[in-house]
Amino acid sequence: MIISASYRTDIPTFYGEWFLNRLDAGYCMVANPYGSKPYRVSLRREHVDGFVFWTKNLHPFLDKLDILQERGYPFIIQYSINGYPRALEFSVVDAQRSIQHMHLIAERYGKRVPIWRYDPIVFSSLTPFEFHVENFRRLASELEGTTDEVVISFAQVYKKTLRNMNWAAAKFGFTWLDPDDQAKLDLVAEMIPIAKAHSMQLAVCSQRDYVTSGAEEARCIDARRLSDVAQHDIRAESKGNRPDCACHLSRDIGAYDTCPHGCVYCYAVHDRALAQRRYKAHDPQSEFLFEPAPIMETHSPGQPVQQTLL
């Protein structure tokens, strides 16, 4: 099984100690976000084909990568570097530091390990069409040689995203919009040759309507790429976690509403104050990344749970 860590939260930035503790224990517990009972996920080497990490700041996790390599776990890093204004990303590390991390990863582990994510793309008075073209061009130039792929997506305005974006717009004095499909296709068309000029394939995540000539459909959980990193064949079923998702089957070990980065466009955080409280309450020794109260009342170490995976 491929383990995703995690599209629900930034484990490398905030929960690296917990991750290493669970790796030592050989398993972790995950609370199903849709109301089901908790389940156990094995993290033992013989059960894990590889890890896919998702992050905006890898620095706190760099030493953990060396441990993973020593123990023989292949891994891929999905690294989001947007270079957005603070009004959209309150506490994300400066893009220049993240660029340095990408170069370091490529040097240590190879260019197939890191993947640059320029996503989600937010159209606002702070980040209009022209901003994205020039910002993408600058970042691509500085990231050349670190990766062979850049993944993009356009912000999807869920109800919680709408609330957070409107709050930030009122507080920081900007406007934002969700433009029509043609504007998005025009931006993709501008980005494709920029990516190519810097030896990167542009891929679009879970939005097939914007996959145009010169772009590919992103597979963020990619058994083929992991196979290249591991230097042996890894097979997995193609089974995405939402419409238009081309990912291979994986098991995510994160938890929603636990990332305190403060990105107002984030689909994984309903309430930043709640995410901050959960981060502060996090116990690195727990089986769970965050153990919701109902689970605390019904589960203790060693007790049977609804489902055992792997």
Residue ranges covered by each domain of the chain: 2-309
The stretches in the chain having pLDDT less than 50 are 295-310
Comparing CA positions, the residue from 109, 104, 79, 77 lying closest to residue 4 is 77
| pLDDT of res. 241 | 75
The model's pLDDT over 252-284, given as tens digits with 9 standing for 90+, comes to 999 999 999 989 999 889 888 999 999 999 999
Confidence at residue 272, expressed as pLDDT on a 0 to 100 scale: 86
Give the pLDDT confidence score for residue 294 in this predicted structure: 53
pLDDT of 158 reads: 81
User: 219 vs 6, 160, 208, 275, 297, CA distance in Å?
Assistant: 15, 26, 12, 28, 38
Tell me what pLDDT residue 36 has. Answer: 65
- Beta-strand relationship, 201-204 and 149-154: parallel
**Are residues 206 and 221 in contact, defined by beta-carbon separation less than 8 angstroms?**
no
Length of the chain: 310
pLDDT at 267: 87
Tokens 């706190």: give the residue.
60
Q: What is the DSSP letter of 214?
A: T
Cβ 110 vs Cβ 76: under 8 Å: no
**How do beta strands 176-177 and 123-124 pair?**
antiparallel
- Tens of pLDDT, residue by residue over 10-68, are 999 999 999 999 999 999 999 888 776 899 999 999 999 999 999 999 999 999 999 99
Per-residue pLDDT, 301: 42
